[in-house]
Amino acid sequence: MFDKLEKSAQRLLELESLLGDPKVIADKLQYQKFAKEFSELLPVVEAFRNHRKLIQQIGELQVMLKEKHDQDFRELAMLELKDLEEQKLALEKKLDDILNPKIQEQDVDLIFEIRAGTGGQEASLFAADLYRMYSRYAEAKGWKVDSLSHHESDAGGFKEVIFGISGKGAARRLKWEGGIHRVQRVPLTEASGRIHTSAATVAVLPEPQEIEIKIDPKDLKIDVYRSSGPGGQSVNTTDSAVRITHLTSGIVVVCQDERSQLKNRLKAMRVLRARLHDKILRENIDKETQSRKAMVGTGDRSEKIRTYNFPDRRITDHRIGFTSHQFQKMIDGDLDEITDALLKAELENRMGV
């Protein structure tokens, strides 16, 4: 961590020089960019410099205490040493708070949407594998998983599965899971043993509170019908399935998991609010593309983020060049290794390392 802080201190000196350069001052956009970076780095570097100064003072006192001095001097030195140690611990906590802010996203509920992509039935089976992986990870962390909607395939996988994950720290660890997940394996139906490549798309949406997203009932078209299972067979004898169309945005949400029309409608509205919220966020991000790309990835659902190679028992995250051979553990829901790596990469990006 301190190597990165040292680089940040060097960068701050560079920025001080740049902000005094007449050419930079004349370029309003460039000046604002450097000024913003300077203001973000300044509190980090100041805390780091103070921490470094305290370490030097503590070292000098420790050397003095090893020498022969009278008892009164030693008692005063010990008191000062204790005070400096307390200041050092307080500064380390401050640095940790700056570098790892306890931001609200830790407690934001998420809605996951997993859809089978290229690969037919094998892709739907992989979508089910991903659902199982995230569900097990959430269970191990003590987070709540709430099934919202699913459409099964004939092979027993999912064409689409939508579910919520809520709990302290869930968003912080799972926010980077959105994108294309690719799988390489030999399907059970492949007699020749040839490896197939399939994919599933994962969308991770922060779930807004109802007060955050106002939806005018006049903008909604709500249809109800009988729910159906794989192959189109009826699984319910009442009109409990709900399809909500948001006329303004064109977003369509279908929910048929519950036997109650009311419950399906409530779940569909949760998904609709999350999608509308996501749409607003993405529109804002498009206006600030550079800040978005400064993070681990764009979160674009067209971005291939990870490959799960079954024959080689290997998982690779392409955004940060991370590869793990703890394949089975991760598929079974132990994702800490990769979420730790993503959090580290996020911190390094924030630090400009």
- How is the chain split into domains, by residue range? 2-99, 105-211+300-351, 217-284
40: confidence class by pLDDT, cuts 50, 70, 90:
confident
Contacts of 34 (CB under 8 A, 6+ apart): 15, 18, 19, 24
Q: What is the pLDDT of residues 134-144, one digit of tens each?
A: 999 999 999 99
SS3 content of the chain, % helix, strand, coil (to 5): 50, 20, 30
**CB–CB of 242/227 below 8 Å?**
no
For residues 156 and 100, give the distance between their C-alpha atoms in angstroms, rounded to a whole number.
41
Query: What is the amino acid identity at position 285?
Result: I
292: confidence class by pLDDT, cuts 50, 70, 90:
very low
Query: What is the amino acid identity at position 181?
Result: H
Say which CATH class 105-211+300-351 falls into. Answer: alpha beta
Q: Tokens 């492949």 label which residue?
A: 190
Q: What is the pLDDT of residues 241-286, one digit of tens each?
A: 899 999 989 999 998 888 888 999 999 998 998 899 888 877 765 5
Contacts of 22 (CB under 8 A, 6+ apart): none
Report yes or no on whether pTM surpasses 0.85. no
Q: What is the mean pLDDT of residues 74-89?
A: 88
CB atoms within 10 A of CB 210: 10
Query: What is the amino acid identity at position 260?
Result: S
28: confidence class by pLDDT, cuts 50, 70, 90:
confident
pLDDT at 310 over 50: yes
Q: What is the mean pLDDT of residues 18-41?
A: 88
Tell me which residue of 194, 187, 195, 193 sits closest to 123, measured CA to CA: 187
Q: Which has more pLDDT, 96 or 343?
A: 343
Predicted local distance difference test score (pLDDT) of residue 293:
42
> How many residues are listed for the chain in this entry?
353
Which tokens in the block code for residue 158? 């999912």
294: confidence class by pLDDT, cuts 50, 70, 90:
very low
302: confidence class by pLDDT, cuts 50, 70, 90:
low
For residues 145 and 261, give the distance between their C-alpha atoms in angstroms, rounded to a whole number.
21
Predicted local distance difference test score (pLDDT) of residue 289:
44
Predicted local distance difference test score (pLDDT) of residue 286:
59
**CB–CB of 160/114 below 8 Å?**
yes
Domain 2-99 has CATH 1.20.58: yes
SS (H, E, C) 80-130: HHHHHHHHHHHHHHHHHHHHCCCCHHHHCCEEEEEEECCCHHHHHHHHHHH
Is the fold of 2-99 the same as that of 105-211+300-351? no
Give 270-313 as a DSSP string: HHHHHHHHHHHHHHHHHHTHHHHHTSS----TTSEEEEEETTTT
Q: What is the pLDDT of residues 91-136, one digit of tens each?
A: 887 777 666 655 444 568 899 999 999 888 999 999 999 999 999 9
Q: What is the mean pLDDT of residues 201-216?
A: 81
**CB–CB of 226/241 below 8 Å?**
yes
Q: What is the pLDDT of residues 151-208, one digit of tens each?
A: 898 888 999 999 999 998 899 899 999 999 999 999 877 767 789 999 999 999 988 8
Long-range Cβ contact pairs of 50-55 (< 8 A, separation 24 or more): 50/91, 51/88, 51/91, 51/92, 51/95, 54/84, 54/87, 54/88, 54/91, 55/88
Predicted local distance difference test score (pLDDT) of residue 208:
80
For residues 181 and 242, give the distance between their C-alpha atoms in angstroms, rounded to a whole number.
29
Domain 217-284 has CATH 3.30.160.250: no
- Helix 71-99 with 28-66: angle, nearest 10 deg: 150
Predicted local distance difference test score (pLDDT) of residue 187:
85
Predicted local distance difference test score (pLDDT) of residue 322:
93
